[in-house]
Each structure stands twice: as structure tokens, then as C-alpha cells.
């Protein structure tokens, strides 16, 4: 009867690259369940069997059961619920047929199981299925050497570099999401060599490519993407023709000396801004109630894009994100505090948007504090801070046509109306409203 399912990473194929933990785990398995796509090349089966033969003690009895796996080589079906249901049923059929004394089932994951979402998802579904029938099944995942790790080792390069982000994605997403600001990009599973689509726009990227890593058929190519991608394509096609399959992995990185992609600097550390009547301080996670109440006020919802109320959890997340947005230089959000009562009166923020040096201002005051000029005071305080401390050169703000109070507060704070933009802002009912647009630059501030 089943007691345990073990997902064991066996590396890219060489028994010498299997970790000690994985070796010990292999020796505990009674039945290995092996997915069989139906046309799996014999050398893959041989490589898998070679790992077992080399690492499982000769006196340890085990058997291998193949189950039909329609996944194939590409990653297109890995998130298909129909695939999950079919493969879970197949695995459960094997588990239900375990012989007496067979309690541990093992799944062999090429490379590292962390890169095999489909297998872990299937194991989770199996454990849940048996739990529903009253059977508690333990399960664990044993790490292996991944293709990206071995790729870096074979090319004698570090996989990660100081101060450079490391982004892992799939071939399906690469062309749509690539941007130099992502840093080093690893594609561990790509059925179509998607980096070909980047060669025209980013020919100077360095490509580190490898196929059949850790096997006698290993192929390696390194060079400028625009120079070598066609060669890699030809090698890949020839290898597929020869073997009937190909598994590869590659890394894309900016060449040494390339200018870094500019990213917004963090906003300067700020404690409080005050004029004696109103104080502004940076939003913290504890300010979520003010964030919630300002957004959920009927007047605020009237002018909101979606007209959707914030839940307490929504407000907590927004308040907590404010600290991160400040550090990342994306937005500086402040709570307005009434000096007399010490209570939160509203919120105001500056978002870095558009051309460099430009900030977009948004604000809102709670009903109990309206009519006291708090919006104008907050705009004057935050404008001085934005120009003098945050280094911005222009502030902009806008409101939907009809929101007269917002426009009057902006004008009193020195913002100049620049015009009206047609159908720029969405409404909660699916229509769009014109926007009245204002700006402020340092020389125009009221004295």
C-alpha cells in the first residue's frame, strides 16, 4: 500500500552528476513510475536506466512501470488541465496496483525537479486524491543538478552576477517579455529556439547555449547572438534529425562593458513634511485603514476608474507595497495627518511616469477633513519636496471633467491647466471621460 511518493532529481543524464541525497533516495524506491510519451527515443530510456543501474545497490529490488504521458517535448501542454487529469489517473492506476510490501513510489525528474512544475503539480494532486479517500501519503522532492547550473559550469561562467538580476523564463514567453532591464535571462526549456526572434533587436547579447548537457553528445556554443543564432539553429536541427529529440538550455546576457539599463533611483529618505497645520509622512503598512477609507468614500469611488471598493486585505497590500515602491523609485506615497488631532486625513502620492524627471500626482481627502484646504496644503508640501529633494523637474495631475473641487485645489497650489484630453480616463460603466490636465514646474510655484 502506498505510503510515500518521492520526486528525485537525477541531473541532465550523467550518473556522476546525481547528488548524494538523490542516490540515497533512489535506494528507497520500490516502484519507479516513468512517463512515456509513446515515441520516446531509446537513448533517453537507456540513460535513465543507466542512472538506476549505476546508483541503486544490486541487492535492492525495484521495478519500473511506464505510464502514458502526452506532454511531448514542448511546454505548450504543461498547464493543460486535461493533461493533469489524464496523467494523475494513470499514476493512480499504478499506485493502486502496488504489490504487497511496495510502499514507496519514485518519479525521476531530469535535471532539477524545481524546473518541472508539471510533475510536482501531479504529485500534489495525487496526495490530495488519496487524502480525500482517507489515505495519508507522504511526499518529498530531492533536488538535482539543473540544466542552467550545468550550462554555466560547462561554459565556465557564473550563473549569477553581483548587482545583475537573474530572470528565468520559458521559450513561449521570451520574445514577449524580454527587456534588457531583466538582466541575465535563462531559458531552461524552449522547443523552438525563441531567442532567434531577439537577434534583430538585440544582436549584441551574449548567447551561452548547450544541448544534451552532461551526456557524450553534449553541444556548446557561445558568441554574439546576432552572429551565432543561425549556427545554433542548424546544429539543433541536425541534432534533432540524428537523435529524434533535443533538449537544450541557454543564457542571454549583456556583454561586458555594455551600458546598464537605467532604473529609477529610490526616492530620498524622508521623515515628515509639515506647514504647521498639515503633516505629510511616508505611508507604512500600518496606514492601511486610511488607504481603505479614502478609496472607499462615495466621492472617491465616483471618480475612480473601476468604482470597486477595497477590501481590508486589498488595503493592507497597498499600504505594504508603498514602502517597496518608495525604495524602488516608482512612487512616493504620503499620509496626510491633521496636526491638531493627529489623525490620518487622506493620502497623496507622486508616481514617476513619462519622460525622465516627471512625476504624476494623485490625492484624496477623507470626508471629515474636507473644506479645510488640506488638499492644497498637501500639494504645496509635496511639490516643494519633489523639486527640492526628489530631483523632479515637472509635476502633472489630472481629473475627470466635472470634478471641480479637485481642479480648484490644484489651481490654488499653483498648478496650471494645460488643456483637456478627450476620452482619456475610463469609467466603471465602460465609458470614458475627458481629462482636465495640469502641470507645475519649479519656476511657476507660488511664493
Overall pTM surpassing 0.75 (yes/no): no
Model confidence at 231: pLDDT above 50: yes
Residues 74 and 171 in one domain: no
Beta-strand relationship, 219-224 and 206-211: antiparallel
Task: Compute the average pLDDT of residues 35-45.
Answer: 63
User: What span, in angstroms and rounded, lies between the C-alpha atoms of 203 and 197?
Assistant: 10
DSSP assignment of 27-46 equals: TT-SEEEEEE-SS--HHHHH
DSSP string, 384-421: HHHHHTS--SEEEEEEETT-HHHHHHHHHTT-EEEEEE
For the sheet with 206-211, list strands across it: 166-168, 184-187, 248-253, 206-211, 219-224
Same domain assignment for residues 132 and 183: no
Q: Look at residue 170 and tell me if it is in a domain.
A: yes
The 3-state secondary structure of 5-31 reads: EEEEECECCCHHHCCHHHHHHHCCCCE
Residue 258 lies in a domain: no
Q: Are residues 158 and 211 in the same domain?
A: yes
Provide the mean pLDDT of the chain.
91
d(CA 236, CA 126) in angstroms, rounded, equals 36
Top-confidence range, 87-101, 163-177, 373-387: 373-387
Same domain, 87 and 210: no
| Predicted local distance difference test score (pLDDT) of residue 73 | 41
pLDDT at residue 75 greater than cutoff 50 = no
Distance between CA atoms of residues 339 and 358, nearest Å: 30
Residues 6+ apart with CB under 8 A from 184: 159, 160, 161, 164, 165, 166, 167, 251, 252, 253
3-class secondary-structure state, position 199: coil
Same domain, 83 and 226: no
| Predicted pLDDT of residue 72 | 47
351 and 320 in a common domain: yes
Can you tell me the distance from the alpha carbon of 433 to that of 303, in angstroms, rounded to the nearest whole number?
Answer: 10
Looking at residue 367, its pLDDT comes to 96
DSSP letter (8 states) at residue 201: T
User: Do 211 and 309 reside in the same domain of the chain?
Assistant: no
- pLDDT band for 189, please (50, 70, 90 cuts): confident
On whether both 99 and 166 belong to a single domain, the answer is: no
Task: Please report which confidence band the pLDDT of residue 286 belongs to, taking 50, 70 and 90 as the band edges.
Answer: very high
Contact 218, 179 (CB under 8 A): no
Provide the residue range defining the domain that includes 84.
4-145
Q: What is the pLDDT of residue 82?
A: 62
**Residue 338, SS3?**
strand
280 and 410 part of one domain: yes
Is 67 a residue whose pLDDT tops 90?
no
DSSP 8-class letter at 195? G
CA 388/CA 154 separation, integer angstroms: 51
pLDDT for 438 beyond 90: yes
What residues contact residue 97 under an 8 Å CB cut-off, 6+ apart? none
For 397, the grid coordinates are 495631475
pLDDT confidence of 85, banded at 50, 70, 90? confident
Chosen domain end from 110, 145, 180: 145
The DSSP line for 288-352 is HHHHHHHHHSHHHHHHSSS-PPPPHHHHHHHHHHHHHHHHHTSEEEEEEEETTT--EEEEEEEEE
Neighbours of 360 (CB within 10 A): 16
In angstroms, the CA 350 to CA 330 distance is 9
Mean pLDDT (whole number) for 6-13: 91
pLDDT of residue 216: 86
Q: Give a yes or no: residue 426 inside a domain.
A: yes
Mean pLDDT of 80-87: 71
Q: Which of 145, 175, 198 is the last residue of a domain?
A: 145
Query: 88 and 209: one domain?
Result: no
Residue 260 lies in a domain: no
Residue 167 lies in a domain: yes
In a domain, 379, yes or no: yes
Q: Which of 117, 145, 173 is the last residue of a domain?
A: 145
Rounded to the nearest angstrom, the gap between the alpha carbon of residue 21 and the centroid of all alpha carbons in its chain is 29
Q: Are residues 344 and 360 in the same domain?
A: yes
Q: State the pLDDT at residue 6.
A: 97
CB 37 within 8 A of CB 72: yes
User: What's the structural domain count of the chain?
Assistant: 3
- Read off the CATH number of the domain in which 214 is found: 3.30.950.10
Grid cell for residue 271: 521623515
Main-chain phi, psi angles of 17, to 5 degrees:
-100, 10
Phi/psi-derived region of residue 11, left when phi > 0, alpha when psi is between -120 and 50, beta in every other case = left
Reported as a pLDDT band with limits 50, 70 and 90, residue 86 is: confident
284 against 110, higher pLDDT:
284
Count other C-beta atoms under 10 Å from residue 313's C-beta.
10
Contact 31, 94 (CB under 8 A): yes
Is residue 129 domain-resident?
Answer: yes
288-304 per-position pLDDT tens digit: 999 999 999 999 999 99
* Co-location of 404 and 372 in the same domain: yes
Q: How far apart are CA 362 and CA 179, in angstroms?
A: 29
Cα gap 353→332, rounded to integer Å: 12
Answer whether 214's CB lies under 8 Å from 146's CB.
Answer: no
- What's the full length of the chain, in residues? 447
385, part of any domain = yes
CB 333 within 8 A of CB 283: yes
403-427: burial string, b at 16+ Cβ within 10 Å, e else: beebbebbeebbbeeeeeeeeebee
Amino acid at each position: 500500500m502506498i505510503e510515500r511518493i518521492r520526486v528525485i532529481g537525477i541531473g541532465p543524464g550523467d550518473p556522476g552528476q546525481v547528488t548524494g541525497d538523490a542516490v540515497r533516495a533512489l535506494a528507497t524506491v520500490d516502484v519507479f513510475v516513468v512517463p512515456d510519451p509513446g515515441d520516446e527515443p531509446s537513448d533517453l530510456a537507456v540513460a535513465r536506466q543507466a542512472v538506476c543501474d549505476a546508483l541503486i545497490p544490486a541487492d535492492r529490488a525495484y521495478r519500473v512501470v511506464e505510464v502514458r504521458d502526452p506532454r511531448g517535448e514542448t511546454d505548450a501542454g504543461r498547464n493543460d488541465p486535461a493533461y493533469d487529469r489524464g496523467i494523475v489517473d494513470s499514476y493512480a492506476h499504478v499506485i493502486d496496483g502496488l504489490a504487497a510490501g511496495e510502499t514507496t513510489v519514485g518519479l525521476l525528474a531530469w535535471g532539477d525537479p524545481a524546473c518541472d512544475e508539471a510533475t510536482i503539480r501531479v504529485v500534489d494532486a495525487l496526495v490530495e486524491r488519496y487524502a480525500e479517500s482517507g489515505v495519508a501519503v507522504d511526499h518529498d522532492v530531492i533536488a538535482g543538478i539543473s540544466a542552467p547550473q550545468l550550462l554555466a559550469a560547462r561554459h565556465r561562467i557564473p550563473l549569477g552576477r553581483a548587482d545583475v538580476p537573474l530572470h528565468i523564463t520559458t521559450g513561449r514567453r521570451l520574445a514577449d517579455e524580454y527587456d534588457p532591464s531583466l538582466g541575465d535571462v535563462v531559458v531552461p526549456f524552449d522547443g523552438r529556439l525563441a531567442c532567434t526572434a531577439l537577434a534583430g533587436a538585440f544582436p549584441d547579447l551574449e548567447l551561452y547555449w548547450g544541448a544534451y548537457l552532461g551526456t557524450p553528445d553534449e553541444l556548446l556554443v557561445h558568441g554574439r547572438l546576432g552572429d551565432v543564432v543561425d549556427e545554433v539553429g542548424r546544429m539543433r536541427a541536425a541534432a534533432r534529425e540524428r537523435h529524434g529529440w533535443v533538449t537544450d538550455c541557454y543564457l542571454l546576457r549583456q556583454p561586458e562593458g555594455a551600458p546598464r539599463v537605467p532604473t529609477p533611483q529610490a526616492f530620498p529618505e524622508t521623515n515628515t513634511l509639515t506647514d504647521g497645520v498639515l503633516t505629510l509622512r511616508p505611508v507604512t503598512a500600518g496606514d492601511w485603514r486610511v488607504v481603505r477609507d479614502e478609496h472607499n468614500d462615495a466621492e472617491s469611488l465616483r471618480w475612480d476608474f473601476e468604482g470597486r471598493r477595497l477590501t481590508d486585505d486589498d488595503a493592507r497590500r497597498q499600504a505594504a507595497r508603498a514602502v517597496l515602491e518608495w525604495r524602488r523609485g516608482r512612487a512616493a506615497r504620503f499620509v496626510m495627518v491633521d496636526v491638531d488631532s493627529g489623525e490620518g486625513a487622506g493620502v497623496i502620492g507622486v508616481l514617476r511616469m513619462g519622460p525622465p524627471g516627471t512625476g504624476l500626482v494623485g490625492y484624496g481627502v477623507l470626508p471629515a477633513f474636507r473644506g479645510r484646504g488640506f488638499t492644497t496644503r498637501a500639494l504645496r508640501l509635496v511639490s516643494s519636496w519633489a523639486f527640492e529633494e526628489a530631483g523632479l523637474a515637472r509635476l502633472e495631475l489630472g481629473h475627470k471633467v466635472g470634478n471641480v473641487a479637485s481642479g480648484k485645489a490644484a489651481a490654488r497650489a499653483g498648478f496650471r491647466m494645460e488643456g483637456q484630453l478627450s476620452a482619456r480616463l475610463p469609467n466603471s460603466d465602460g465609458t470614458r471621460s475627458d481629462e482636465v490636465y495640469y502641470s507645475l514646474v519649479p519656476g511657476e510655484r507660488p511664493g
